[in-house]
Amino acid sequence: MVDLQILYLGIMKDGRFDEKDIEKSDLKKLGVGRILDQLASLKERNLIEMNKDCSFSVTSIARHILWDNQIPLWIKILRILEIKSQDIDKIASFLLLSKIQIQNELEDLRKRQLVLMSPFRIEAGVVKMYEVLPNGIEQMKKATSEGIQNKPEIAKSKTEIWSIIEETIDEIQGLQEISEERKSKIIFKILQIKNKLEI
């Protein structure tokens, strides 16, 4: 989370930040030792580089992780949630996007069972907190390694699939223009598919 906060600070300062910027931010609470360790770690991973005037610049590699337009929004959101559960406002802030854009994307990710929303009570009321599910982490890593842009299909639960099968069987049984023998054969094949799917 500290790595993300430092990189975000740099992005907000047009990719370049220094000691004074850190002192003016919430990062100062961490203390000098912790901040120096984090900066060294980011530098080792080529996420920041030190300039001649002792300021730091966010590298293109770091920008590519969360602030590159070529990276799909759903992957960026999952990357942030992999670090820590966040509310919509925080996610939107980190990604420099509107709350509406994030809200729509989060709802879609929730339907695809990649993120989980949990209400969290605070003094001001209830906040919706989002966390990435194991399937979300798996799909994100798969998309990153294979260069996939599209989200996985919305997974239908076994209950939903069985409901569709039952409705189809009822419709077949209600058909007048097909013989009972033909209906039985079609229904038998449908039930075979059901058994193959282990529903």
Give the DSSP letter string of 107-118.
HHHHHTTSEEEE
CA atoms within 13 A on the CB side of 41: 11
pTM of the complete model: 0.71
What pLDDT sits at residue 197?
63
Strand order in the sheet with 56-58: 16-17, 56-58, 48-50
Residue 142 near residue 150 (C-beta atoms within 8 A):
no
123-136 in b/e burial notation, b at 16+ Cβ within 10 A?
A: eeeeeebbebbeeb
Q: In a structure prediction context, what are the per-residue pLDDT tens digits for the chain, which is 199 residues long?
A: 899 999 999 999 989 999 999 999 989 888 889 999 999 999 999 999 999 998 999 999 999 989 998 889 999 999 999 999 999 999 999 999 999 999 999 989 988 889 988 887 777 777 889 999 999 999 988 888 887 777 777 655 655 676 778 788 888 888 888 888 888 888 888 877 776 665 4
DSSP tag of 157: P
Host H or E run for residue 161: helix 158-174
What pLDDT sits at residue 94?
94
